[in-house]
Structure 1
Amino acid sequence: MKNVKRIQICNVPVDALTMEQTIELIDKSIERKESLHHVVVNAAKLVNAQKDLELRASIVDCDIINADGQSIVWAARYLKEYLPERVAGIDLMENLVGLAHKKKYKVFFLGAKEEVVAKVVQIYGKKYNQDIIAGFRNGYFGKEEELEIAHQIRDSSPDILFVAMSSPKKEIFLNKYKDEMQVPFIMGVGGSFDVVSGKIKRAPVWMQDIGLEWFFRTLQEPGRMWKRYLTTNIAFVTLLFRERRKLSKRR
């Protein structure tokens, strides 16, 4: 996007934007009916993008790339770059649902289990009104159904699409079908539907501020999460050390 500073962290681009600036850019894009593809990056996604070229391409092709995790903001400082703040995907989603109510935008919700996405729609419909709901669908489908789902989304004429699926599935799906769906604003939101529905709890603000959301999540699902986060965090720190050494040698 024009006039937006984009930095590089370990060969992955990130935009130096605040939450307020991000919302303003999105709102203008929706008003003009322009296509805008958004993504957030955290430590795990940055690590995976080093080897998963399809994932990296789907990130690079996005119009706005925000720092989802506090670790990305710290990583930028460590590499002598600057990001003003983290723009967490779930916080951005919540703000945009509020904006949809205010501006009479329509939202389509794709992802999670049927009972979870239905609960999310119910919660937002009650908090605001049902007029903001363009449609919804669970995130359990095969590749042979993808095009049909993209057309279902297009035919519901939403202004905003949130996709709550795991990475890299959501990034690749959005990048592959964004022209088919013809939605002004599209965004992957990971496990945000689970949080909104109450299926899982979000870390307290103080833990978010010191970069320990991953630890809080591990406490809730230790059997599934501890190995993933341990492996990713070690890889992330190692990657940053290597990148810092490269920068030092250049200088």
Structure 2
Amino acid sequence: MRYEIFDCPIDVLTKAETVAIVREAMKIRKPMTHVALNVAKLVNMRFDPVLAEDVKNSDLIGIDGMGIVLAARLLGFHVKERVAGIDLFEEALATCATDGFRPFFLGATPEILARAVAAVRTRFPAIQFAGFRDGYFKQNQENEVVEEIRKSGADCLFIGMPTPRKERFLAAHRHNLGVSFVMGVGGSFDVIAGHVNRAPSWIQNFGLEWLYRVYQEPRRMWWRYLRTNTIFTGMMIRAIGERLNSSLHNHTAGTKA
């Protein structure tokens, strides 16, 4: 079910429902793009039109962050669970291993990428990669990269490049990749490679993964999360205020009638 919060569409699905949609897309070769929506991305959409266009044009917009879950619930939407991008990524890889779909990894440094590929092969011995390429290529090499992906015959493409580079790459080449399912995975290659640790389950359940990332990379992350979380809090306060005012107005109008 698709809804909208803060002018951004979201797909309210469980992880199982999302995996089923992804599997079907690869099975019938239906082009599909997934984006994992968190607070930082939702806020940055307001200032980055390329990012906003990428998110809004995606076929699946998953609720990745607990902040989005809480916002949707406060605004009246029934969200059963959060579908974290890395969890969906791992489920998609499991699907590739069991159903014979072939993934292509694009992004990260050569070292991290090699470690991520090795870790996936260890975890899913049956998986067959269509290919992989690090993210350190120049803009004038993009057509070469696109052609490599297209010729690989990949069923799915996982892109581990930072925003807004990933969005600009897809905006330019989305329709020439020849891949059924495309998903941006952020820093998931780093996690799978063992370069970055994911937060413990109890921290994930409390929606504090962002704080754990700040703990691991304080210099790079503290300002990003301070800025986006502050803006998001303001957005939520305004939205709740408007909702309360609307309810009060409707109640008053009903009493007068």
What TM-score comes out, normalization by structure 2 length? Answer: 0.92
Task: State the alpha-carbon separation in 1 of the partners of residues 240 and 108 from structure 2.
Answer: 38
RMSD, matched Cα:
1.4
Residue 140 of structure 2 corresponds to 144
My pick for the range that moved more, 239-248 or 82-91, is: 239-248
Residue 229 of structure 1 corresponds to 225
Residue 220 of structure 1 corresponds to 216
Q: Mapping of 1:193-212 within 5 angstroms?
A: 193-212=189-208
* Amino acid aligned to 1:142: K
Which residue of 19, 26, 31 corresponds with 1:35?
31
CA offset at residue 128 of structure 1?
Answer: 2.1
Q: Compared with structure 1, are the counterparts of its residues 130 and 143 closer, same or farther at alpha carbon in structure 2 (3 Å cutoff)? A: farther
Q: Mapping of 1:162-181 within 5 angstroms?
A: 162-181=158-177
Task: State the alpha-carbon separation in 1 of the partners of residues 137 and 244 from structure 2.
Answer: 47
Report whether the alignment pairs 1:119 with 2:122. Answer: no
Task: State the alpha-carbon separation in 1 of the partners of residues 4 and 168 from structure 2.
Answer: 21
- Partner-residue secondary structure (3-state), 2:81: coil
Residue 12 of structure 1 corresponds to 8
Q: Deviations over 1:15-72 (max 9, x none)?
A: 0100000000111111101101111100000000112111111111111100011111
Residue 186 of structure 2 corresponds to 190
Task: State the alpha-carbon separation in 1 of the partners of residues 126 and 112 from structure 2.
Answer: 17
Task: State the alpha-carbon separation in 1 of the partners of residues 79 and 171 from structure 2.
Answer: 25
Unpaired segments ≥5 residues, structure 2: 248-257
- Partner-residue secondary structure (3-state), 2:182: strand
CA offset at residue 85 of structure 1?
Answer: 1.1
Give the % identical residues: 40
Task: State the alpha-carbon separation in 2 of the partners of residues 112 and 130 from structure 1.
Answer: 24
Unpaired segments ≥5 residues, structure 1: none
* Amino acid aligned to 1:49: M
What TM-score comes out, normalization by structure 1 length? Answer: 0.94
Q: Compared with structure 1, are the counterparts of its residues 130 and 109 closer, same or farther at alpha carbon in structure 2 (3 Å cutoff)? A: farther
Aligned length: 247
Q: Compared with structure 1, are the counterparts of its residues 99 and 246 closer, same or farther at alpha carbon in structure 2 (3 Å cutoff)? A: same
CA offset at residue 140 of structure 1?
Answer: 1.7
CA offset at residue 130 of structure 1?
Answer: 6.7
The structure with more radius of gyration: 2
Task: State the alpha-carbon separation in 1 of the partners of residues 148 and 116 from structure 2.
Answer: 19
Alignment check: 8 A CA contact 1:41 1:68 kept: yes
Residue 105 of structure 2 corresponds to 109
